[in-house]
Amino acid sequence: MSAPTNAICEKSTKHKVTGVPEDSVSYLALTLRAWLQDLVFSMILAAHHYTDTRHDRPTGLRRRDINVGSRCAEQRGKAARGP
């Protein structure tokens, strides 16, 4: 028996399952492989999307202020006072 088969058999005896067919172990291995392949593929697509959207734009001409909340408060104060 291989290592994954031994691990599955250990888990199955813990839950009082008497036997695990070899086909079930193969099916679990194929399912895990397909799931991991899809996960890695999605991660690669996300990485390409991030770099494409992040670096394709030109940089702005002015520095953006970090404290946006105070600027909004100033604008509201000006609007409340009128021209």
Span 14-56, pLDDT tens digits: 888 888 888 988 898 999 999 999 999 999 988 877 665 555 5
Cα end-to-end span (Å), the chain: 84
Beta strands in 2-80 (DSSP E): none
Question: Does 80 fall in a domain?
Answer: no
Q: What is the domain extent for residue 42? A: 21-54
So what's the pLDDT on residue 83?
56
Question: What is the CA 8 to chain-centroid distance, rounded?
Answer: 28
Q: What is the mean pLDDT of residues 56-76?
A: 60
65 contacts: CB under 8 Å, gap ≥ 6:
71
Residue 71 placed within a domain: no
User: Does the residue 74 lie in any domain?
Assistant: no
Question: Is residue 12 included in any domain, yes or no?
Answer: no
Q: Which residue has the tokens 């394709």?
A: 56
Q: Does any domain span residue 29?
A: yes
pLDDT at 39: 95
- Establish if 4 belongs to a structural domain: no
